[in-house]
Amino acid sequence: MIAVGTTAVRAVESAVGAGGVVRAREGWTDLVVTPERGVRVVDGLLTGLHEPEASHLLMLEAVAGREAVDRGYEQALAGRYLWHEFGDAHLILPPKRPHTPHCSSNSR
């Protein structure tokens, strides 16, 4: 599952039930996705470039790891990419797949 935006990651990860199944839900979430918490169903993230001190970077690290995020931001700086809402976007993917049992080749 590729989430489009950090809010989508929080919403989908908040709706994961037992066994890694996403169920329809409604309401607010207070979920904070960090590398320590990790992600259960999100396999990648399409998002804008956030400022280097933004808390969103912890979510990106949860999806792809610190090294990938650091490399991506180095390239963004070198390429003079634009930041935040009206800037460029990038696709964040984990270094290896699958990261959870639902992603095994047998279930795709």
Q: What is the DSSP string of 39-107?
A: -SS--EEEEEPPPTT-THHHHHHHHH-HHHHHHHHHHHHHTT---GGGS-EEEE--SSS--SGGGSGGG
**Each residue's pLDDT tens digit, 18-46:** 888 999 999 999 999 999 999 999 999 99
The predicted model scores a pTM of: 0.80
Mean pLDDT of 62-78: 92
